[in-house]
Amino acid sequence: MSVEIGVETFGDVTVTPDGELLTHAQVIRNVLAEGQAADRVGLDFFGVGEHHREDYAISSPEVVLAGLATTTERIKLGSAVTVLSSDDPVRVYQRFSTVQALSNGRAEIIAGRGSFIESFPLFGHDLRDYEVLFSERLDLLAELLDGQPVTWSGQTRAGLEDQEVFPRAETPITTWVGVGGTPQSVVRAAQHGLGLMLAIIGGEPMRFKPLADLYRRALAQLEQPELPVAAHLHGFVAETDDEAADLLFPHYRDQMLKMGAERGWGAYSREAFDAALQPGGNLLVGGPETVAQKMAAVVRGLGLSRIDVKYSNGTLPHEAALRSIELLGEQVKPRVLELLAER
């Protein structure tokens, strides 16, 4: 087995070493430096999320990716995710075909529903249309990806008849459907011939194996070619296991407590955090060897073509995030490939 290893960020608003919150503008500049570092240390993918709330600085991933396209050399650049339900697929295609041109073919789209709902009222959408918005807009995006004139009609935007869309992508744009646990989205990805990106943000990673298996069965039944399965997990690498856990925990706890207050979750404890660090847990946190062993196990268990680490978690400082990226590229990636080769 072989696998690509990537990193992702939502542009989390971070703090200085003195504990002061950075401005959104400075966070965006830091994300650019983080993407450049990921390219420099040989990682395979850098993903930027889309959010429309105060604790995340990036609402326009493609703009940040365009900046990275001209300041990196080989790393693939994509969204993590594009909130397709509240966006226009035509504009998504146009923006990513622009990034594809600037990067000489390194752009990727990860299209999903997103884990927050702020974009719906912001752009005038009704949450009662949650399902139909995603379904229709994914259908249209899949049509646009062919680069040919499109004829399409639906309930959620104006129809198109033999419509050409520019700029055309010079080469096909790799596109995934981001799935947090919905079997219908898994099947929909297979129907459109798009890759599957599993968003593993809680629980044991192996609980997602039935979704990966469903996707592969659907591809076979639809007589689609074999397509990749990837996964996104939260993680952080430092020099040792204890250093990584102690550095990350207060920032991760505060992030989880904030989301928990919004979503009705219970309190988040150090015990819950430590449990997620165990071999079967969902957090890729520790020293390089610990993280490499855990990543290799997840890759083998789910049959992944790529595994992405969300290295930015809450207000964790930029300097710690940069070091995590360096360790992932310089030590974790070669060790994961070595472990997979041994099998």
Q: What single DSSP character describes residue 104?
A: T
Q: Is the dihedral of CA 330, 333, 335, 341 positive or negative?
A: negative
Mean pLDDT of the chain: 96
| For range 183-197, the mean pLDDT | 97
With a cut of 90, say whether residue 240 has pLDDT above it: yes
Q: Which residues in 270-286 are b (16+ Cβ under 10 Å) and which e?
A: eeebeebbeeebbbbbb
* Whole-number Å distance between alpha carbons of 5 and 327: 12
pLDDT at 2: 85
With a cut of 80, say whether residue 343 has pLDDT above it: no
Q: Parallel, antiparallel, or unpaired: how do β-strands 150-152 and 160-163 relate?
A: antiparallel
Q: Which two tokens stand for residue 215?
A: 């996707």
- Model confidence pLDDT, tens digit, residues 272-321: 999 999 999 999 999 999 999 999 999 999 999 999 999 999 999 999 99
Per-residue pLDDT band for 163 (boundaries 50, 70, 90) equals very high
> Based on the structure, what is the number of domains in the chain?
1
Its domain, for residue 97, covers 4-342
Per-residue pLDDT band for 1 (boundaries 50, 70, 90) equals confident
Give the count of beta carbons closer than 10 Å to the beta carbon of residue 39: 22
The strand ranges marked E within 113-149 are: none
CATH of the domain at 280: 3.20.20.30
- Model confidence pLDDT, tens digit, residues 47-97: 999 999 999 999 999 999 999 999 999 999 999 999 999 999 999 999 999
- In DSSP terms, 107 is beta-bridged to 77
pTM value > 0.95 = yes
pLDDT at 87: 98
pLDDT at 173: 98
Per-residue pLDDT band for 114 (boundaries 50, 70, 90) equals confident
